[in-house]
Structure 1
Amino acid sequence: MLNNPDHHTIYNMNALLKNFLVFLISVTVLQAQQKPTDSIPEPKRFVTQHQVTNGGKTVSYTATASETYLRNKKGEPAAALWSVAYTRNGSADRPVTFVFNGGPGSASVWLHMGMFGPKRVRVPSDADKDDGAAPYPVETNTRGILDLTDLVFIDPVGTGYSRVIGNGKVEDYWGLMEDANSVAQFIRTWITENNRWMSPKYIAGESFGTTRAAAVANVLEEDGQSMALNGLILISQALDYAGSTSIHNNITSYLTYLPSMAATAWYHKKAGQGKTLEDFLAEARQFTYDSYAPALYRGNLLSAGEREQLAERLAYFTGLEKSYILRSNLRVLVPRFQKKLLEENGKAVGRLDGRFMGPEIDLVDDQPHLGDPASYQIGDAYTAALNHYLATDLKVKMDRPYITSNSELGSKWRWRPVPDGRYWEPMPVNTATLLAETMQRNQDLKILVANGYYDLICPFFDAEYTFSRHGIDRQRVDMKYYEAGHMMYTHEEDFEKLAEDIRLFLTD
């Protein structure tokens, strides 16, 4: 009877149940053992043909927007790195320049759509208004350099369309040296796949991208595939963070930022009136070296009279009230300067570019309340232009959004410059020594440093301070200056000047 099974029936049922459970466990284990790499699709690749006139020459070129799979030590794909390459047709051995922005966490959109790419978005040149809403003016970049060099724009992992895949982990890429190693791997891969080992090679980076550039140049000489670069284009350099980190008790930063504060105060007619910008900044440099530096190191040993005199001079250069400078103990942080300079007008000046001004809702905060007007007044235009350009001109179709700036990286970024297990005490990030070492091993490596006078993130005086130390061969460094900020190419006059300076650098 089915509802009264005998002993043998019960035994057989138990055996069947046991075998079924064993089968389920085996399937589960097998599925767990299957690697994510088994299901990784082929990398995306979009190829289009174009023409542009640069340097008075018509250039026919191929645009290749694609994923390149970076591999881990086991040879497995671990990350898909997105790049856009522009290569002139029929020229296999001419120079190639790799381009990236900074952050960390920024895609290459800014240099791509603002400086080097075949198309360029226009934003208000005089920093006197917001970029508004779409549509935005996008035009052919007639001052580009595709007549001189191929261009490869790189979006590091976590930016643009780049992401980890398979068994990859963000920790393998989100760090100072992890990032440098991944970009170096991409460059070697691209050079090998395109048979460009005999081509002159350059890197152009901006902000943290200059930190990266110095590290990548150093890493490229390692791992049994030594690759020497011909030059680095460092836009708004940030090699030694002691000079570009405005925080309490960092004496170096009070010194390096003062001339940029003076430039910004001059621009807004709060200081230095009746003098040229260059003459006023020459005064600021001399004061910083000869008076401000020794005074800061003397600290409370200064007499009351000396403090009064120093405060008067700081008020002269910064346009801030002497009483405020005295209350600040002769040390004004950059966010406070941004807030105080135009306080009477209810506005704050930009950090990336001190020319910009933004209205403030909270009038008593000690830093800009709405964020950086030099960022939010141009960011929408760049984002829209890049997305439109990829879809319309390059025929890119992806299943995920293009991330222009990834704030998640900041909280997870690993700044440690040495491997685990090696002794290291936290200190400001510094890749200037890596650059000095690379320059000594590669006597052909030359450097172009582009500085914005109104840059309150990476101050121009810090560039001078950095490149006068660390064993860097100053004879191979060309220092250039522009009357704009961090992204000096947003100012039309300086875009043209920077384009010409880069052209001369590549042809010298």
Structure 2
Amino acid sequence: MPDENPAGKPLGDESPERPEDKPADTSTKDTSTKEPDGKAPEPPEPKDDLVTTHHQLRVGRRRLAYTATAGRVVLREEEHKDGTFRGNKARAEISMTTYTLDGADPRTRPVVFAFNGGPGSSSVWLHLGLLGPRRVVMGDVGHLEPPPYGLMDNRESLLTVADLVFIDPMSTGWSRAVEGGKPGDYHGYQRDIEHVGELIRLWTSRNKRWMSPKFVAGESYGTLRGAALAAHLQDRYGMYLNGLILISSVLDLSSIDFEKQRNDRAHALYLPTYAAIAHYHGKHGRRSLRSVLQEAEAYAARDLPWVLSRGARLSPDERAEAVSTMARLSGLSGDYIDRCDLRIEHWRYFTELLRDQRLSVGRLDARFTGPAASAIAENMDADPSHDAIMGPYAAAWNHYVREDLGYASDLHYEQITSRVMPWSFKDFEGRPVDVSDRLERAMRQNPHLRVHVSYGYYDGATPHFAAEDVFAKLRLPDSLRANIEHAYYEAGHMMYVHEPSRVQQSRDLADFVVRSSGLPT
């Protein structure tokens, strides 16, 4: 449909017209767009916009026939005003993509609800990087594919053991508020959980899947969302999950928060990640990664917190020893460690480690490097790992959703956006943003809930040792703590970018889903 100008004529179709050529208007009809009561007309009622297609995935000798559904679902909210019920009003149109195995028994077929984080990220990364039936071909460090990249069947897809529902939270992907609505109302911790939870309830009810084993999978901020969502689904709907998948976990933001430079906890918990990154870039000679991590983790757990807590009370010898140890583990110079007062800020670390080579190190995945815009900059101008993944995923998704899934929209698919900012954490005013208590509550309420946590050693955004610290402090009995399992990969934040890690992680997740569903292995 062509755009229209204010007069209602299609643009480009106007013909010159002189005022004297116009006939006099002698009609008395009301051309106002207002309703009889003087109010502007209500916008049209939005409807679900979904497209269904059928596909096959070959896995070994098997051919899996599955149905894909892509598009946008209208979310409604009950409206009450002055004690009066005003109806179930449309508030948002949320984009999602689902895959269900044809002919499967819903009582035994698990379903996994998946999303990424940000806040402000669509689900395209888990969708085309790890879990979905098709995956992007982008290469890896040192062997990146050139544009326009590629797309191929994912024989390790989690679809082999579970149905998949990929969710794009408000303002990501094609998710938008309804016409006249306020997307900012959803840009915050609580409302984010509520609308994602409502979409899960709606899909489960419409597809008659209440008796299916159910899982939630989140990455990065999606792990914070996922942990809180597990408790919300139980408390609000009585929907108990079988499992929670946390990829690159951060449940307590104070464990990684450097905004307050005296947050010594975060400075200590980051050190093992710095040591792993230094090892990858050749700063530890022939030592194994495991031996480097063992030393760094032991130092970060015991000695470094004490050192940082002492401040000026450290003796010269104690300070010199700390500077030497931190320099050796992190790969930075002793002079730099001393000048930063033993407190390495992570953005500066990625700029400093290979400064002598005029390279920046990736934050999302420190295996990646890129030329520094300035050899004297305090912080790198861009994350080379983020630069490496953006193009391949954008090309793959925009082709795949139109060509294979048959869904198209002229809206821009917000792969990752800043439009959700500022993000509201008003629920945590005056205290750290920490949802570990929500996970504790969910596990105590549902003792069958199992949790799988995936870590990347070269992840500079959500360091593994910080996440471990949070899990170690959960207030749980040993019987429930045994429901938490941990998996580690020599990769970054999106560990599936690294092919050996992707293959192993796919196996680990499939095994977790099968075991947690109580299905035969």
TM norm structure 2:
0.88
- Aligned match of 1:95: 110
Letter in 2 for 1:406: T
Letter in 2 for 1:207: S
> Is 1:316–2:328 an aligned residue pair?
yes
Q: Following TM superposition, by how much is the alpha carbon of 1:430 offset from its aligned partner in structure 2, in angstroms?
A: 1.0
Q: Following TM superposition, by how much is the alpha carbon of 1:32 offset from its aligned partner in structure 2, in angstroms?
A: 2.5
* C-alpha separation in 2, matches of 1:109 and 1:160: 8
> Is 1:330–2:342 an aligned residue pair?
yes
* C-alpha separation in 2, matches of 1:192 and 1:55: 33
Question: Are the counterparts in 2 of residues 482 and 494 from structure 1 also a CA contact under 8 Å?
Answer: yes
Question: Equivalent of 2:280, from 267, 270, 273?
Answer: 267
* C-alpha separation in 2, matches of 1:48 and 1:31: 45
* C-alpha separation in 1, matches of 2:464 and 2:39: 54
Q: Deviations over 1:260-307 (max 9, x none)?
A: 00000000011x322211111011111112210111111121112111
- Aligned match of 1:352: 364
Question: Equivalent of 1:62, from 59, 67, 73?
Answer: 67
Q: Deviations over 1:347-378 (max 9, x none)?
A: 01000011110101211111112x11110112
Q: Deviations over 1:236-262 (max 9, x none)?
A: 001111122233121111011100000
- Aligned match of 1:397: 408
| Aligned partner of residue 408 in structure 1, secondary structure | coil
Question: Equivalent of 2:244, from 232, 238, 247?
Answer: 232
Letter in 2 for 1:379: M
Q: Deviations over 1:406-446 (max 9, x none)?
A: 112122x11122xxxxxx63333111110111000001100
* C-alpha separation in 2, matches of 1:222 and 1:56: 43
Unaligned runs of 5+ in 2: 1-27, 80-87, 516-521
- Aligned match of 1:7: none
Distance 1:340 1:26, change over 3 A: closer
* C-alpha separation in 2, matches of 1:196 and 1:440: 24
> Is 1:453–2:430 an aligned residue pair?
no
Question: Are the counterparts in 2 of residues 128 and 357 from structure 1 also a CA contact under 8 Å?
Answer: no
* C-alpha separation in 2, matches of 1:250 and 1:79: 39
Q: Following TM superposition, by how much is the alpha carbon of 1:128 offset from its aligned partner in structure 2, in angstroms?
A: 2.0
- Aligned match of 1:470: 474
Letter in 2 for 1:236: S
| Aligned partner of residue 439 in structure 2, secondary structure | helix
- Aligned match of 2:315: 303
Question: Are the counterparts in 2 of residues 130 and 378 from structure 1 also a CA contact under 8 Å?
Answer: no
Question: Equivalent of 1:428, from 419, 428, 432?
Answer: 432
Q: Following TM superposition, by how much is the alpha carbon of 1:172 offset from its aligned partner in structure 2, in angstroms?
A: 2.5
Within-5 A mapping of 1:134-213? 134=148, 136-213=149-226
- Aligned match of 2:12: none
Bigger mean CA deviation after superposition, 401-410 or 306-315: 401-410
Question: Equivalent of 1:493, from 496, 500, 517?
Answer: 500
* C-alpha separation in 2, matches of 1:28 and 1:183: 35
- Aligned match of 2:232: 219
| Aligned partner of residue 235 in structure 2, secondary structure | coil
* C-alpha separation in 2, matches of 1:251 and 1:29: 65
Within-5 A mapping of 1:231-250? 231-247=243-259, 248-250=261-263
Identity %: 38
* C-alpha separation in 1, matches of 2:347 and 2:72: 39
* C-alpha separation in 1, matches of 2:54 and 2:143: 36
Letter in 2 for 1:308: A
- Aligned match of 1:81: 94
Root mean square deviation of aligned Cα: 1.8
* C-alpha separation in 2, matches of 1:280 and 1:87: 44
- Aligned match of 2:373: 361
| Aligned partner of residue 58 in structure 1, secondary structure | strand
Letter in 2 for 1:113: L
Letter in 2 for 1:414: S
Distance 1:26 1:35, change over 3 A: closer
| Aligned partner of residue 78 in structure 2, secondary structure | coil
| Aligned partner of residue 160 in structure 2, secondary structure | coil
> Is 1:52–2:25 an aligned residue pair?
no
| Aligned partner of residue 135 in structure 2, secondary structure | strand
Q: Deviations over 1:43-96 (max 9, x none)?
A: 211100001134753211110112111112221111001110000112233110
Question: Are the counterparts in 1 of residues 351 and 360 from structure 2 also a CA contact under 8 Å?
Answer: yes
Question: Are the counterparts in 2 of residues 131 and 378 from structure 1 also a CA contact under 8 Å?
Answer: no
Question: Equivalent of 2:425, from 408, 415, 423?
Answer: 415
Letter in 1 for 2:234: E
- Aligned match of 2:489: 482
Distance 1:56 1:26, change over 3 A: closer
TM norm structure 1:
0.90
Give the number of aligned pairs.
Answer: 474
> Is 1:117–2:132 an aligned residue pair?
yes
Letter in 2 for 1:163: R
Question: Are the counterparts in 1 of residues 114 and 123 from structure 2 also a CA contact under 8 Å?
Answer: yes
Distance 1:164 1:304, change over 3 A: same
Distance 1:26 1:265, change over 3 A: closer
